[in-house]
Chains A and B, each alone.
Chain A
């Protein structure tokens, strides 16, 4: 049985993104938004009303969009380049590599509706490769906030950060998980729950599911540690090594293919520094079928009950 998701008020993190961006832009005239005909889906309408000159819509042209962002940064602007995550990352990947990462430009890439958010629209619109693609590039932190509070904190951080970054935002509602006033620190995980039986590591919309799974495990007398790992690159190696040593097993959950994403990043640290049994939950290297984001995540073994079952199976593998 799946835990109900209607237990708390759910928030669309895009609202936290644009509200925060508008607040920052009111104070800093150099902040601009660049988008690809995605004013509505990026929720930039309010930004455009307040700062019409600073909303730069290049039309349906993602390669140009990222290049324009790099040029604006060269001219002293702080561009937030917003588009649906699959097209921002996939279509303009070489621009992200050459114009943002290699050129070390101050471009904030904001991939909206990431993961399975466009579940019903099919695999062309699923963004489940973006961690892997961008994580392979130097100089571009990869960050997937878990709720509206962390989203706002990440946007504030990004505006201050000198350099590029990739922020992965969903549009699927999530409850508040982090405390009001939370400050984002790049490369630092948040322990949402402590335990010694195993550690569940997740980010983005999966953090909520990991927390629900841990609650199910607790009912069975199993104390799971839950780490919210918003920063995929750089990743919190200390927290991962401590989790391996103190809990002896690590389960990762991500709205991404299991190849090259959060689970892979965690596994790289584990295998190098503290080998323990691990299991990576995610999309197992297939194009997904049709369905809502939450339905698809359930189908891929990431309903809270299924995560709890995977956790129990993993605990059984501990030596």
Chain B
């Protein structure tokens, strides 16, 4: 798909996300803004998935390990046709299947339940290994947060991914430099990621995680290094697209008031004009 078309979709997803957070009175809007371009490129350009056959054995898999940004995934799935668009308005409602973290049993298109951090990459390693056992060509993608990389389970999986030569596995680190309570640099500064992943035997590429052309290029099958799993360090901004949220640690799960909501929507509207 043309990068400009993808930008338009991503912007639509951002606006729907901000509205849903505003209406639900909760959500993880900052991280959703940083991950939206990545999810849009995956679902509308890179991945082979079919909403009519969500469990097709040959489908590509996406694991959203930073599961607290479920809302962005739900909206992407609704734009793609896995769930109805009007269902987004039920986000976080009593008995809604769209809870704050994704559930594969309830929501078609979700591959594994996430929420606790550091779970997605090990599961993705298992998926990629299953494809290798079957000599199947489907690919596995996993998105983690950068703060999430502090979880040791990720490094267990990084070792395994390299040892098993999983070149059908792509880890995308949403490197927005902020975690829940503070900046990554002020918490347990695991950055820079590239030399660490390279030392573990991964092929690493650093990109601007809001540059749609760069994202699509990095995700393409042509950008795979045979025999090595791939890590894309996506440099992003938490709260991207909204001036007062961008790169501001306060907006991990803060809810905009009416004035902030109007400003956020106006800025996002302006961005696609």
Contacts and interface: CB of A to CB of B under 8 A. Distances in A.
A68 B122 contact: yes
A176 interface: no
B113 to A, nearest CB: 4
B122 A67 contact: yes
A64 B116 contact: no
A11 B61 CA distance: 44
B133 A98 contact: no
Interface in A92-133: 94-95, 98-99, 102-105
A74 B129 contact: no
* Chain A interface SS verdict (over half): helix
A158 B123 CA distance: 21
Chain B contact patch, size range? 35 or more
Interface in A69-103: 69-77, 79, 94-95, 98-99, 102-103
Contacts of A103: 104-105, 112-113
Interface string B112-141: 111110110111111111110110000010
Chain A contact patch, size range? 20 to 34
Contact of A72 (B104, B127, B156, B159): B127
A68 B105 contact: no
A58 B156 contact: yes
Interface in A1-60: 32, 53-54, 56, 58-59
Contacts of B78: none
A272 to B, nearest CB: 28
Nearest to B114: A98
Given A59-B160, A98-B114, A67 B130 contact: no
Contacts of A70: 112, 122-123, 126
B157 interface: yes
B112 A71 contact: yes
Contacts of B152: 63
A6 B134 CA distance: 48
B119 A75 contact: no
B115 A98 contact: yes
A102 to B, nearest CB: 5
A104 B156 CA distance: 23
A75 B134 contact: yes
A66 interface: yes
Contacts of A137: none
A53 B156 contact: no
Contacts of B192: none
A276 interface: no
A71 B130 contact: yes
A269 interface: no
B111 interface: yes
B213 to A, nearest CB: 30
Interface in A147-194: none
A54 B133 contact: yes
A239 interface: no
B159 A59 contact: yes
Given A68-B125, A104-B105, A74 B119 contact: no
A99 B123 CA distance: 8
A95 B119 contact: yes
Interface in B58-77: 61
A64 B133 contact: no
Nearest to A62: B156
B119 A98 contact: yes
A59 B157 CA distance: 10
Given A58-B160, A102-B113, A104-B105, A32 B133 contact: yes
Contact of A71 (B128, B156, B159): B128
A75 B126 contact: yes
Nearest to B113: A103
A95 B123 CA distance: 10
Nearest to B67: A98
A71 B125 contact: yes
Given A94-B119, A103-B104, A103-B105, 17 more contacts: A56-B129, A59-B156, A61-B160, A63-B152, A67-B121, A68-B125, A68-B126, A68-B129, A70-B126, A71-B122, A71-B129, A71-B130, A72-B130, A74-B126, A76-B57, A98-B116, A98-B119
Interface of B: 57, 61, 103-105, 111-116, 118-119, 121-131, 133-134, 140, 152-153, 156-157, 159-160, 163-164
Q: Which 7 A-B pairs have the closest CB atoms?
A: A71-B126, A75-B130, A67-B122, A64-B156, A61-B156, A68-B126, A71-B127
